[in-house]
């Protein structure tokens, strides 16, 4: 998606404070953190939201979810952390590229 800000971050076309990257996903710190640690995990492949996922996204979704606790631990969230996926306008989604919020150390 040429006009998607998270696709541009995934492609390295606009800067972000990345904490993890592999062939399938990128994690970067939220530009307006709502907790002392607040990062976003996104698939490199564009998909608008969780509501736009189907069986073809199953592996990507699993990888995204399993990466969250690893990165949370690396960020020092030993007590635990909060995850959120806002979906659709009614769910408070503002950027329409699927992303998992990870927050901690409140
Ligand atoms: P949503 O409400 O869509 O779930 O959350 C989008 C999140 O993306 C917000 O917390 C917002 O601060 C963050 N965000 C939006 N644009 C950028 C950006 O250009 N860079 C970074 N690092 N975070 C962004
Ligand atoms: Zn995108």
What are the pLDDT digits (tens) for 50-83?
Answer: 999 999 999 999 999 999 999 999 999 989 999 9
User: What residue numbers bound the domain in which 20 lies?
Assistant: 5-104
If you average pLDDT over every residue of the chain, what do you get?
Answer: 97
Residue 105 pLDDT: 92
The domain that holds 86 is classified in CATH as: 3.30.428.10
Total number of domains constituting the chain:
1
Whether 34 shows a pLDDT value over 90: the answer reads yes
Active site residue 99: yes
Which residues sit with their C-beta closer than 6 Å to ligand 1?
A: 5, 16, 28, 30-32, 40, 86, 92-95
Q: Strand 37-43 and strand 82-84: pairing? A: unpaired
Count Cβ atoms within 10 A of the Cβ of residue 61 and give its class: 0-12 exposed, 13-18 middle, 19 or more buried: middle
Strands 100-104 and 82-84: antiparallel
- CA-closest candidate to residue 97, choices 37, 58, 40: 40
Q: What is the pLDDT of residue 49?
A: 98
Contact 18, 27 (CB under 8 A): yes
Atom of ligand 1 nearest to the CA of 86: 4
């Amino acid at each position: 998606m040429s006009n998607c800000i998270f696709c541009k971050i995934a492609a390295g076309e606009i800067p972000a404070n990345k904490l993890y990257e592999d062939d399938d996903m990128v994690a970067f710190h939220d530009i307006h953190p709502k907790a002392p640690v607040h990062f976003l995990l996104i698939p490199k492949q564009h998909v608008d939201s969780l509501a736009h996922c189907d069986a073809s996204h199953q592996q990507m979704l699993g990888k995204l979810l399993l990466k969250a606790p690893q990165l949370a631990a690396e960020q020092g969230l030993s007590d635990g952390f909060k995850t959120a996926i806002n979906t659709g306008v009614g769910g408070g989604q503002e950027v329409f590229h699927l992303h998992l919020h990870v927050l901690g150390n409140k």
